């Protein structure tokens, strides 16, 4: 059976998160991956977490992200005030040039309703409808000139992998889901081919310019922690204890943990891929072992075994 390796980088933090706090405001410097960094120069954006506005909702923290030049990157609200954030309510994101990037809504950390995306030039890119059962409906897709490619869930869809709008894959959409053969390109040299049937991935491959396969088929239905990655981050951070000996010795760092999500959702072969020492390795493994069963990954609708690599960050709070 095919055993693809699905590698996701998720930065998890303990209660001693490396974000500074002043009165009721939390702020810090982050990379796009979610990794917390120590200086503004090395960050992609700055995160500000403000206390709830009691005139609007006393339970939702106000979230603001700023680019290095202080332009707004994101405005939204979240249930919690620590990374990873669990967004809830309306959210708007902006490109660095000031144009809107996305308008969306969240419910308990999951996208809900219509998410409207834009191109950097301000033109409408796509509209995707998200449902509570984690399914989505590909409603509309336009090219960068405004030409409609998909309407009411039928037509041609282009999926870009990042906000740079460079790497992509695209193909036919029928009744709001992927259908048939999709083709795309990465790094100007890797050709991607994926085959769908009623939104279900049947096969996938990556080929170089000579046609040689350079990557295995991968499952678009990757293993999922119940509630998603935000819930997984909250699960880990709420159970992570910073070892006293590591605190006293000022030991910090990122422990890389690998594990297999079995076909029944259980985790196996949990081990350290990169050690930090000072008891941090053992603490990271201890918490991962407490995880409930995941929803297993699938290829062609059939459960598969899949490997994860998860960095767990331990950072001491600084004054």
* pLDDT classification of 1: cutoffs 50, 70, 90: very low
At residue 31, does pLDDT exceed 90?
no
Question: So what's the pLDDT on residue 319?
Answer: 47
Nearest alpha-carbon partner for 138 in 196, 88, 55, 216: 196
At residue 2, does pLDDT exceed 50?
no
206 and 186 in contact (C-beta within 8 Å)? yes
Question: So what's the pLDDT on residue 33?
Answer: 58
At residue 242, does pLDDT exceed 80?
yes
- Give per-residue pLDDT as tens, 191-229: 888 889 898 878 778 787 777 776 544 445 678 888 777
Question: So what's the pLDDT on residue 30?
Answer: 74
Question: So what's the pLDDT on residue 142?
Answer: 97
**Tokens 């933090």 correspond to what residue?**
13
Question: So what's the pLDDT on residue 211?
Answer: 77
Q: Specify the long-range contacts of residues 172-181, CB closer than 8 Å, at least 24 apart.
A: 173/138, 173/141, 174/198, 176/129, 176/136, 176/137, 176/138, 176/139, 177/137, 177/138, 177/153, 178/138
223 and 8 in contact (C-beta within 8 Å)? no
In the chain, % of residues over pLDDT 70? 85
Identify the architecture of domain 1-16+242-319 in CATH. 2-Layer Sandwich (3.30)
- Give per-residue pLDDT as tens, 163-177: 788 889 999 999 999
CA distances from 188 to 7, 185, 220 (A): 22, 6, 22
Degrees, nearest 5: CA angle 48-230-297: 150
Query: φ and ψ at 231, to 5 degrees?
Result: -65, -35
CA distances from 269 to 42, 176, 226, 272, 288 (A): 35, 38, 20, 10, 11
- Give per-residue pLDDT as tens, 60-108: 999 999 998 889 999 999 988 876 678 999 999 999 999 999 999 998 8
Nearest alpha-carbon partner for 144 in 155, 154, 158, 156: 158
- Give per-residue pLDDT as tens, 144-165: 999 999 999 999 999 997 778 8
Measured CA to CA, the distance from residue 89 to residue 92 in angstroms comes to 10
Name 234's Cβ contacts closer than 8 Å, sequence gap at least 6.
Answer: 80, 84, 86
Measured CA to CA, the distance from residue 304 to residue 221 in angstroms comes to 10
Question: So what's the pLDDT on residue 316?
Answer: 80
Compute the mean pLDDT over every residue in the chain, rounded to the nearest whole number. 82
CA distances from 275 to 48, 129, 272, 288, 293 (A): 31, 42, 6, 15, 25
Tell me the mean pLDDT in the region 19-42: 66
* pLDDT classification of 301: cutoffs 50, 70, 90: low
* pLDDT classification of 3: cutoffs 50, 70, 90: very low
More confidently predicted of 145 and 32: 145
Question: Measured over all CA atoms, what is the biggest interatomic distance in the chain, rounded to whole angstroms?
Answer: 62
Nearest alpha-carbon partner for 209 in 229, 186, 190: 190
Question: So what's the pLDDT on residue 253?
Answer: 85
C-alpha atoms less than 13 angstroms from C-alpha of 38 in its C-beta half-sphere: 7
Q: Where in the chain is the domain with CATH 3.30.1150.10?
A: 1-16+242-319
Question: So what's the pLDDT on residue 43?
Answer: 82
């Amino acid at each position: 059976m095919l055993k693809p390796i699905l590698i996701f980088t998720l930065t998890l933090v303990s209660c001693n998160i490396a974000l500074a706090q002043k009165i009721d405001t939390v702020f810090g410097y982050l990379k796009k991956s979610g990794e917390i960094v120590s200086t503004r120069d090395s960050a992609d954006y700055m995160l500000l977490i403000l206390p709830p506005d009691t005139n609007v909702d006393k339970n939702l923290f106000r979230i603001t992200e700023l680019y290095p030049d202080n332009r707004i990157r994101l405005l939204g609200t979240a249930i919690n005030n620590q990374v990873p954030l669990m967004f809830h309510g309306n959210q708007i994101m902006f490109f660095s040039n000031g144009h809107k990037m996305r308008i969306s809504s969240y419910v308990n950390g999951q996208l809900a309703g219509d998410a409207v995306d834009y191109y950097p030039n301000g033109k409408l890119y796509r509209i995707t409808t998200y449902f509570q059962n984690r399914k989505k409906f590909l409603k509309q897709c336009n090219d960068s000139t405004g030409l409609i490619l998909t309407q009411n869930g039928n037509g041609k869809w282009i999926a870009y992998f990042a906000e740079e709008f460079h790497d992509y894959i695209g193909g036919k959409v029928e009744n709001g889901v992927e259908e048939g053969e999709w083709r795309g390109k990465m790094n100007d040299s890797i050709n991607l081919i994926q085959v769908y049937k009623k939104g279900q991935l049947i096969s996938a491959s990556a080929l170089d310019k000579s046609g040689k396969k350079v990557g295995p088929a991968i499952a678009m239905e990757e293993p999922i922690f119940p509630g998603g990655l935000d819930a997984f981050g909250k699960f880990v951070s709420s159970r992570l204890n910073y070892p006293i000996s590591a605190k006293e010795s000022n030991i910090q760092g990122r422990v890389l943990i690998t594990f297999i999500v079995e076909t029944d959702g259980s985790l196996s072969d949990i081990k350290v891929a990169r050690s930090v020492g000072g008891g941090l390795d053992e603490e990271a493994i201890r918490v991962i072992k407490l995880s409930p069963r995941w929803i297993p990954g699938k290829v062609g609708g059939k459960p598969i075994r899949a490997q994860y690599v998860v960095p767990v960050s331990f950072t001491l709070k600084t004054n």
